[in-house]
Structure 1
Amino acid sequence: MSGSSPHPGMSDTAAMMHYDANKRSVLVGYILWFFLGWFAVHRFYAGRTMSGLVMLAVSLVSWALTAVAIGYLGLGLIGLWLLLDLFLIPGMIRSYNREIIASLGR
């Protein structure tokens, strides 16, 4: 296995170490979802920055608007989104890890 490295000057061992240092865990994704899901931390962890920012913004605005009752609509939307993410987290993590592998092949 030596000598066939995706990056010039990077050994297979170094590439594997780079992957291991940067890969994401589904278990950690679920832990973040459970404790910090309202703030989209699990989406940031999975590399979904744009949707994480949207989810965070909707969540913060909704919390602020609960004083006038309209915020509960946004919180309901975030709750539904969190329920969907319960099933999407493994795929998001798998996609992130595949991107790391693909970047090693460039």
Structure 2
Amino acid sequence: MNANHPILPPKSLGIAYVLWFFLGLFGVHHFYLGKIGRGIVYLLTAGVFGILWIVDLFTLPSQVRMVNTQRSVGIG
């Protein structure tokens, strides 16, 4: 483990889906995953008018896997 890049605990897919369902149009699930820019876009556009919010229903597992992979090697 590198002192400059400590390994961070993984994010939960279950929590991400709960946040997506209840607060997803505000981008809270993206803030949870550390995707601040995308979260701000969702916040300002209601999930780009709900379209990308629906897309996240299907892509959230791969998004969480990607974030967890990055966190396991000290990125993010």
**What's 1:58 paired with?**
45
- Letter of the aligned partner of 1:47 in structure 2? G
**What's 1:7 paired with?**
2
Residue 103 (1) aligns with residue 74 (2): yes
Q: Where is the helix percentage greater, Structure 1 or Structure 2?
A: 1
Q: Tell me the secondary structure at the aligned position of residue 103 of structure 1.
A: coil
Contact 2:13 2:61 in 1 (8 A): yes
Task: Please provide the CA RMSD for this pair.
Answer: 2.1
4+ runs deviating over 6 angstroms = none
Deviations 1:28-84 (A, max 9, x none): 11000011111110111122111111110113xxxxxxxxxxxxxxx7x43111110
Bigger relative contact order, structure 1 or 2 (CA pairs below 8 A, ≥6 apart): 2
Question: Runs of 5+ in structure 2 lacking a partner?
Answer: none
Contact 2:10 2:72 in 1 (8 A): no
Distance 1:45 1:83 in 2: 18
Q: Percent of pairs identical after alignment? A: 33
Question: Runs of 5+ in structure 1 lacking a partner?
Answer: 1-5, 9-14, 60-74
**What's 2:63 paired with?**
92
Aligned length: 73
User: Which of 1 and 2 has greater Rg?
Assistant: 1
- Letter of the aligned partner of 1:38 in structure 2? L
The correspondence of residues 10-21 of structure 1 with structure 2, limited to 5 A, is 19=8
